[in-house]
Structure 1
């Protein structure tokens, strides 16, 4: 009898242990728990930590809510029908408050089913609004519009877009050569324009200098008067007398210079 009671007690204890084990669950950090009751999704979302559940009836499906990164190469066409390849990096996460709906409507493979197609569709839709050159010069604007569209798409499927980065736009070799040729032509045109401006400035400077010289010569001619000429002649004669020793030259090669001695003696 005691042996039978011991067996029954052992069975009861084992059942309690098993029930207790299957009546509890825990959700790891960075996850949320989707509560399933006989396979049906319940409205309750389990947060991080320890929780109780109905054994054998309820199960918990963990869903990661930490930021995830998706990096891929996408091909699209520009407004002027140039093929462009973009390297896109996207950071996103599952909405912690809607993981039950995410699991119920999409499942665990939401990255392949939703995220990747949404990135490709958003990039193609936005790049089609810009020419190839504008995609290069307006990349921040393009990135902002792609982010806005992608965020709207992911929100519909209970996901949050954290950030997007378009690392580069790559074009065909023919287009790259065309861009290089255009840049060279623009640089040559700019250089020619600067040379023309320099020549124009130098010509204006020469004209101004010539005008100044002509004006100076005109002023000098206005200053030459008969009185000035007579004064200069007197100054020359005075300098000659200062150097004369009072003797006339014994031999001359021409006329003797006239010196007004009487006029000088009156001074």
Structure 2
């Protein structure tokens, strides 16, 4: 009898341990790094406490949904990238009636202060489920609202960074009410149809030709101005030289009195007297009549 009681007791203990182990397993939740958990009780609704990363024990009758509070990277791409399913590229409209095919990469995280509200709004979906079922689709729609204000050449050309900036501002505002914070957006690929691409390339070529012509015209204008300055400089130099020579001659003429002229003659005379004389001409020269 005692032996039978021991067996029964062993079975009961074993059963309790098994049940306890199962309950512990069901009650243990591992919250991943960068995530937090929202606890929902079927009776009491959402719990006030938010579970941080690590192993956490909750009632087996409570549900835990995890949401990223760190930055998550997502792709809407033609290629199969992380988080991109098959061909997730999409078409966006432009202000001139064109459409272009694009790849978009974006990052986001959930607002930890509003997670209970987010949980209720999305009926307990996990963060990944919200991304797949809501964020990705809305990102396409709200991006198109912004692209429709840009022309195709603006989107494809120099205003691409402005498009990124405007899309980021727009989707930030749109997603905020859902407790979702958009950190960044970027069009990693913008592809045009062949006809549009050709037309834009022709326009770019013409613009480059025009810019080249402007540069050449500016060079010619600068060169002409340089030559004009050089010519004016040469003319001014000649005038200054002529004025200088005239002034020098004037001064020299004023200073050449009879005494100076006589001195100059003596300095140049070789000391030989004239050999032929006639009449009453004096053999001595009149120094006062030297020309």
Q: TM-score, normalised by structure 1?
A: 0.71
Give the corresponding residue for 2:287: 263
Q: Does residue 121 in structure 1 map to residue 145 in structure 2?
A: no
Unaligned residue ranges in structure 1 (runs of 5+): 251-258
Q: Contact conserved, 1:80 with 1:132, CA < 8 A, in 2? A: yes
Q: Does residue 28 in structure 1 map to residue 31 in structure 2?
A: yes
CA gap of 1:178–1:260, structure 2 versus 1, over 3 A, is farther
Shift of 1:199: 0.8
Q: Contact conserved, 1:27 with 1:47, CA < 8 A, in 2? A: no
Greater RCO, 1 or 2 (C-alpha within 8 Å, sep 6+): 1
Q: Does residue 89 in structure 1 map to residue 105 in structure 2?
A: yes
Looking at structure 1, the residues matched to 37 and 140 of structure 2 have their Cα atoms a distance apart, in angstroms, of 30
Q: Contact conserved, 2:110 with 2:179, CA < 8 A, in 1? A: yes
Looking at structure 2, the residues matched to 174 and 118 of structure 1 have their Cα atoms a distance apart, in angstroms, of 32
Q: TM-score, normalised by structure 2?
A: 0.66
Shift of 1:150: 1.6
Looking at structure 2, the residues matched to 209 and 133 of structure 1 have their Cα atoms a distance apart, in angstroms, of 52
Q: Contact conserved, 2:262 with 2:288, CA < 8 A, in 1? A: no
Unaligned residue ranges in structure 2 (runs of 5+): 78-89, 277-282
CA gap of 1:93–1:244, structure 2 versus 1, over 3 A, is same
CA gap of 1:46–1:223, structure 2 versus 1, over 3 A, is closer
- Secondary structure of 1:164's match? strand
CA gap of 1:84–1:145, structure 2 versus 1, over 3 A, is same
Q: Contact conserved, 2:98 with 2:152, CA < 8 A, in 1? A: yes
CA gap of 1:193–1:132, structure 2 versus 1, over 3 A, is farther
Looking at structure 1, the residues matched to 44 and 261 of structure 2 have their Cα atoms a distance apart, in angstroms, of 125
State how many pairs are aligned. 253
Q: Contact conserved, 2:102 with 2:191, CA < 8 A, in 1? A: yes
Give the corresponding residue for 2:63: 60
Supply the RMSD in Å over aligned alpha carbons: 4.0
Looking at structure 2, the residues matched to 249 and 129 of structure 1 have their Cα atoms a distance apart, in angstroms, of 113
Shift of 1:226: 11
- Secondary structure of 1:207's match? helix
Shift of 1:51: 1.1
Q: 1:137 aligns with which of 158, 163, 166?
A: 158
Give the corresponding residue for 1:51: 57
CA gap of 1:137–1:2, structure 2 versus 1, over 3 A, is same
Shift of 1:192: 0.9
- The 5 Å alignment of 1:161-180 reads 161-167=182-188, 169-171=190-192, 172-180=197-205
